[in-house]
Amino acid sequence: MKKKLIGLLMAMTMVVGLVTGCGGGAADEKDEGGSISSSVKVETSDDSSAGGDIEVGIVLPTKDEPRWLQDQKQFETILGDAGFTYQVLFSQGSSATEKTNVETLISKGIKVLIICAQDGAAAAAAVEEARDAGVKVIAYDRLITGTDAVDYYVTFDSFAVGAAQGQYLIDNAPEGTDVPLYLYAGAATDNNAFIFFEGAWSVLQPKIADGTYKIANSTEAEALKDKAELSREEIGKIIGQVTTNWDFNEAKSKAEAHLTAAGSDVKGNVLVLAPNDGTSRSIADVFAADKDIASYVITGQDSEQASVQYIIDGKQSMTVFKDTRTLAADSVAMAVDILEGKEPATDSSYNNEKIDVPAKQTAIVVVTKDNVKAALVDSGYYEASAFTGLE
């Protein structure tokens, strides 16, 4: 009963906080293991209810990629302003740590878990524990697969991300035929990596099939070039060959190996499908250093600050802006509905190999040198002073 009241109270404060952008200040403290723990004391008339329990738990994959620090920042702003009690924990690339994080949060009494899985299949066990403890689970950005213990999913339109990357390459490709195309992908443990690739393939495949582009670094993709639609297994084979594992170093060493093995027929003016910003910067550096690469067009996603600077400097061609403010706000709005006993609004669903998970999807924006200021600075996402050479 008391809990319900607190939930309602926080939900109301939350809505006010979202509208006015003001509220109580969050106190950051270092947890064991280095996780940031942000707690806000809930203002209620009953002191014994405040401070102890945590209502919303957030688990993010790693601090080593700026993308997830953006999400952390948005959660801290939105939840902190709202007067929620919450905690953000990072899994640092380990499913075991992720499971421990979930267990820690369950033991702190969370009612809602917002989790971006390190490994979509491995996370099933952790969220099943949460479900068994009566916690509602919101998969954040990455779908958790093979379990019915996922209640909701908030995501960007990942197919559109891949399609935008592919379309950018087409729109900016050098003239002629047999233009070398280097393909890279995300981690096979991340459902999104399949969707990004599927989206890119949907637009690139006709131009690979008709000989406009020549795949430079994947015999698996080459063998499938006449198939407009690939099965998950087929995409898996390509990813197995060109995965970056979302790892900058792996991206770099793969790109180096590919360029070392490449003949002159796949050098010159080339296209590079890079799955995200971190891997794009690594791959771009390798291509820029190769004297036989005359020019390259390279994709990315996330609008990480370092990649925005790369775009301004002409070292990365594009990125996809996935506004983490919206994704975090959507998942918090869902949490509010859950805490109020209401059914959160959804607009789509994603099959996770077990159930259709009700989802809320957010649109994406393509960012190039031409609109970087309007999309990322004028929108308040970054300060202009974060960059040099911004026009």
Binding site for ligand BGC (CB under 6 A): 65, 67, 141-142, 186, 190, 192, 246, 276, 301-302, 322
For residue 293, give the 3-state DSSP assignment: strand
Nearest distance, CB of residue 264 and ligand BGC, angstroms:
33
Owner of token pair 């637009």 = 203
The smaller minimum CB distance to ligand BGC, of residues 65 and 330, is found at 65
Nearest distance, CB of residue 82 and ligand BGC, angstroms:
25
Nearest distance, CB of residue 160 and ligand BGC, angstroms:
12
Which region holds residue 79: left if phi is over 0, alpha if psi is between -120 and 50, else beta? Answer: alpha
d(CA 50, CA 44) in angstroms, rounded, equals: 7
End-to-end CA distance of the chain: 56
Nearest distance, CB of residue 190 and ligand BGC, angstroms:
5
The smaller minimum CB distance to ligand BGC, of residues 26 and 60, is found at 60
Name the closest residue to ligand BGC (Cβ).
Answer: 276
Contact 249, 226 (CB under 8 A): no
The smaller minimum CB distance to ligand BGC, of residues 84 and 153, is found at 153
The smaller minimum CB distance to ligand BGC, of residues 97 and 276, is found at 276
Nearest distance, CB of residue 21 and ligand BGC, angstroms:
25
d(CA 25, CA 6) in angstroms, rounded, equals: 18
Q: Which residues of 322-340 are buried (b: 16+ CB within 10 A; e: fewer)?
A: bbbbebbbbbbbbbbbbbe
Owner of token pair 């952790």 = 126
The smaller minimum CB distance to ligand BGC, of residues 85 and 192, is found at 192
DSSP character at residue 377? I
The smaller minimum CB distance to ligand BGC, of residues 13 and 35, is found at 35
Nearest distance, CB of residue 120 and ligand BGC, angstroms:
9
